[in-house]
Amino acid sequence: MKLIIDTDPGVDDAMAIIYAALAPDIELLGLTTVFGNVNIEQATRNALWLLEFIGQDAAVAKGAAMTLEGKTIAPSYNVHGDEGFGEYPAQKPKHSALEETAAEFLCRMAREHKGELVVCPIGPITNIAHAIQLDPEFATNVKKIVFMGGAAKVPGNITPHAEANTYHDPHALNIVINSGANVTMVGLDVTMLEPCQEEFFDNLAEVSPKFGGFLQEISRFYLKFYESIGVQGCGFHDPAAVIACTHPELFSTEQLPINVIEEGEEFGQTQICLEDEAPKISVCIDADMAQVKAIYNRVFGVDA
Ligand code: RIB
Ligand code: CA
């Protein structure tokens, strides 16, 4: 599967990117970066360094620094750390991002791999909305868009109503949902089904000292944040979205009409709307998370 991950790395973004680079059934064509967990400069630096760390020769295209409507959002440093990887110090990559913007790269890749490219946004979905506005054929050139975000039948995580990625650019998500693309939502309904405990990262580190060891180190800060809000274990958000791209059979979905609320108390909520004309997307409402995690572990060498 030809894949581009749109990312705001980010601890669970790093979990997803390392998995995608190691997975034998994924051809990672590149990363596009976006504001969110960190600012755009940090997101782009982290993406470039991570691919070098993994030894993965894939492009990085820098994307949006702010929302589609030009609003600047404060990074979630309290969740992912001041540099995006917990307390792991900022790293200086050797390579630079492409000259192309994220939206230009996405549109070109979708044209060059028409009907084959899967796009997996795991941050605010701003770059994808830009690509849809840049190229009217983008939405139908891509095979599917599988995004991490939203909360259909469960509470939010950044507010009681909204999940963080959708809260950070609800207008962009409405554009993607209404674009005519084949869209799957991997939200908190499934990514919080089985939070990852410390032992999950210990096991990764034991069999994969370099990659697992890195994830074990950067997960400490992330686990502490969840503990501070009374949750034992951390969300398996971004890696679940990547695995939903290649193993959709592990996810139970409903075709639901989703509208993202763009004002008021429920700002950022992915609301199941009752107007018939609202476009329906595939919403993950359950998943075999034990099997999803077994597939994740397998690429690091951890037996199920
Ligand atoms: O709500 C979880 C999502 O927000 C994840 O993608 C996490 O990395 C943050 O971007
Ligand atoms: Ca993310």
Domain boundaries, the chain: 2-300
Q: Which of 157, 164, 147 is nearest to 195 (CA)?
A: 157
At 65, the amino acid letter reads: A
**Among residues 8, 12, 13, 238, which one is catalytic?**
8
Which one of 6, 161, 237, 238 is the catalytic residue? 237
Are the C-beta atoms of 50 and 89 separated by less than 8 Å? no
pTM reported for the whole predicted model: 0.98
CATH of 2-300, one of 1.20.1260.10, 3.40.50.620, 3.30.2140.20, 3.90.245.10: 3.90.245.10
CA of 187 to the centre of ligand 1 (A): 10
Ligand nearest to the CA of 186: 1
Helices (runs of H) and strands (runs of E) counted in the chain: 13, 9
CA 135 from chain centre, in angstroms, equals 22
Residue by residue, pLDDT tens for the chain (304 residues) are: 999 999 999 999 999 999 999 999 999 999 999 999 999 999 999 999 999 999 998 999 999 999 999 999 999 999 999 999 999 999 999 999 999 999 999 999 999 999 999 999 999 999 999 999 999 999 999 999 999 999 999 999 999 999 999 999 999 999 999 999 999 999 999 999 999 999 999 999 999 999 999 999 999 999 999 999 999 999 999 999 999 999 999 999 999 999 999 999 999 999 998 766 778 999 999 999 999 999 999 999 877 5
